Every structure is written in structure tokens, then in C-alpha cells.
Structure 1
Amino acid sequence: MTIDVLSADTIRPLTELALELWPDCTFDEEYDYFTQVLHSENAICYLARDQNRYIGFIHVTLRTDYVEGADESPVAYLEAVYVKPDYQQLGIGKKLVSLGEEWGRQKGCRHLASDAELTNSASIDFHRKIGFNEANRIVCFIKEL
């Protein structure tokens, strides 16, 4: 397995992986977003590659707004981590998160934060398995005006 940092050459495969994670998004929307990430000092993406096939990615940002459970800023925030199903349970996700942690340390962060939907038990289990502690559970509301 090889790890590549997001580059102009990897935006397309990253976008394709992101659509596997978020199938309700559009290719153009995600491609444009990751093009912006490419030029950002406050975000990073790493892609895992098995020979010529991209099999997973992580996206980490710096957040300076309030982050649940953190007592200082900035916080490295795990926006997304995804590994293709055939490659899960092989330590790839953990390796990607370790790279995100190191990037956060280099940016002066003392915390890596993340979130998961209350019903996403696989994500919650993954977070716990790699050392995250649950900070809070919330239900969000919205009302049409």
C-alpha cells in the first residue's frame, strides 16, 4: 500500500472515492470542493493506493470555531475517512488517521476531533477502536420559517 497526498493528479480518484462515501453528492460538487482543498493550508487529504487502484482516503481540516470536547483551538478535524469494503479491517483506516494526526500536530493542534451519525454504528465502533473518546451526543433540529 502506498499513501499519496492530494495533488492535481489525484483529485479525480479522490472525488470518486468520496462519492462512494456520500452517494447523494454530485461529482462536480465534490471535484470543485477538493480542488479548493488542494490549494488550502488549512486542509489535507491523503489517499491510500494498492498498486494503481485508489482504495481509501482521509480528509482533515483545521477548525478554529467551537469543537465539541475540545478546550483549545485550532483543532484538527476528521471530516472524512473511507476505505473500500474489500480493504477494510486491514489497518488502512488507522494508518490514514495516523497521518491526519501527524498533520494536526504539525499545525499546532493538541486534539483530533470527529463526528458520526448516531445510527452509524460502524463509524462509532471504528472511532472507538482507534482511540477516540465520545465527547457528546446531540439531536439537531430545524424549523421552516
Structure 2
Amino acid sequence: MHIEPISEANLRILTELALALWPDCSFEEEYEYYKRMIGSNTEVCYLVKVQEDYVGLIQLSLRTEHVEGTTTSPVAYVEGIYVKPEYRKRGIGKQLITFGESWAKQKGCTEYASDVELPNTKSIAFHQKAGFEEVNRIVCFAKKLL
């Protein structure tokens, strides 16, 4: 297993993996988003490669606004984590979380956070197994203004 940072060389496969995580997004928008991320000091993606197959990703950011359950700033934030279904239950996700922790410490962070939608019980269980502690649950609302 090898973990590598986002680059021009892996941008297309990164976008494909991201679309597996967020299927409602468009390839073109995500591709451009990740292209702009290359070289950023506050956002990064890492991909996991097993032999010749890219099998997962972790997207991290430094958040300076309020992060639920934290008291410092910036906070390292897991914006997304994904492992292909056929590679799950092998410790790859946990290794990505640990890799993200190292990145966070290098950036001077003392807190690490993430979020999961309430119905995603598998991801909630994964985060708990990875050492995250649930700090809050919310329901978000929106209203169209006419």
C-alpha cells in the first residue's frame, strides 16, 4: 500500500474516486475543484494505491471557523474519506485517518474533526473505531425565499 498526494498525474482517478463518494457531483466541477487544490496550504487530498490500483482517498482541510466540539484553531478536518468496497475491512481507512493525523500535527493542529450524515451508520461506526468521539448531532433546515 502506498499513499500519495494529489497531483496532475492522479487528478482524473482522484475525481473518479470522489464521485464514488459524492455521486451527485459532476466530473467536470470536481476535476476543476481538485485541480485548484494542487499546491494549497490549507486543503489536500491523498490517494491510496494497492499494487497498481487506486483504492481510496482522504480529503483534508484546515478550518479556521468554528468546528463543533473543538476549542482551537485551526482544526484539521476530514472533508471526505473513501475506500472502494472491495478493499474495505483491511485497515486502509484507518491508515488514511492516521496519515491525516500526521498531516494535522505537521500543520500545528491539536484537534482533528470530521462529520457524517445521520443515516450513514457505517461511516459513524468507522469514525468511532478510528478514535473519533461523537460531539453533537444536528438537523439542518432550508427555506426557499420567494
- The two structures share one fold, judged by TM-score above 0.5: yes
* RMSD over equivalenced CA pairs, Å: 0.7
For 1:42 and 1:23, the matched residues in 2 are separated by 24
Aligned residues with identical type, % of pairs: 54
Worse overlay, 1-10 or 132-141: 1-10
1:16-73 deviation line (CA, Å, top 9, x unaligned): 1001111111111110111111121101111111121100000000000000000010
Tell me the TM-score normalised to structure 1 length: 0.98
Q: What is residue 82 of structure 1 aligned with on the other side? A: 82
Tell me the TM-score normalised to structure 2 length: 0.97
Q: What is residue 47 of structure 2 aligned with on the other side? A: 47
For 1:89 and 1:4, the matched residues in 2 are separated by 21
Structure 2 gap segments, 5+ residues each: none
Give runs of aligned pairs for residues 60-71 of structure 1, distance below 5 A. 60-71=60-71
Worse overlay, 64-73 or 33-42: 33-42
For 2:68 and 2:38, the matched residues in 1 are separated by 27
For 2:99 and 2:33, the matched residues in 1 are separated by 21
Q: What is residue 20 of structure 1 aligned with on the other side? A: 20
Structure 1 gap segments, 5+ residues each: none
AA in 2 matched with 1:21: L
1:63-122 deviation line (CA, Å, top 9, x unaligned): 000000000100000000000000000000011111111111111101110000010000
Q: How many residues align?
A: 145
For 1:130 and 1:22, the matched residues in 2 are separated by 21
